[in-house]
Amino acid sequence: MNETKNINHCLNCNASENEMPLVNLVFAGKPAFICSSCLPVLIHQPQKLIGKLEGAEKISPAKHDH
Ligand SMILES: [Zn+2]
């Protein structure tokens, strides 16, 4: 039995769910996946995801106080 499974990939670095833990998110009504190492990019530098995540230009970066 060959069951074909859809393997999800990180929207930023394209790592597969077999290589990295992927976080499932929904944005603009669409599901997306991002790996744990790219999650900080989404949080602090969402502008880097423009062109990779639809609508990324609308995300405001989280404020962080050091
Ligand atoms: Zn990634």
How many of the other CB atoms lie within 10 Å of CB of 55?
Answer: 13
pLDDT tens digits for the chain (66 residues)? 666 778 999 999 999 999 999 999 999 999 999 999 999 999 999 999 999 999 999 999 988 777
Predicted local distance difference test score (pLDDT) of residue 1: 62
Cα gap 15→32, rounded to integer Å: 13
Six-digit token string for 24 = 């499932």
What's residue 65's pLDDT? 74
What per-residue confidence (pLDDT) applies to 62?
87
Report pLDDT digits (tens) over 26-37: 999 999 999 999
CA distance 22 to 48: 18
Give the Å distance between the CA of 1 and the centre of ligand 1. Answer: 31
- The CA distance from 36 to 39, in Å, is 5
Spacing, Cα 66 to ligand 1 middle (Å): 25
57 alpha carbon to ligand 1 midpoint, in Å? 18
Task: State how far the Cα of 7 lies from the Cα of 26, in Å rounded to an integer.
Answer: 17
* pTM, 2 dp: 0.82
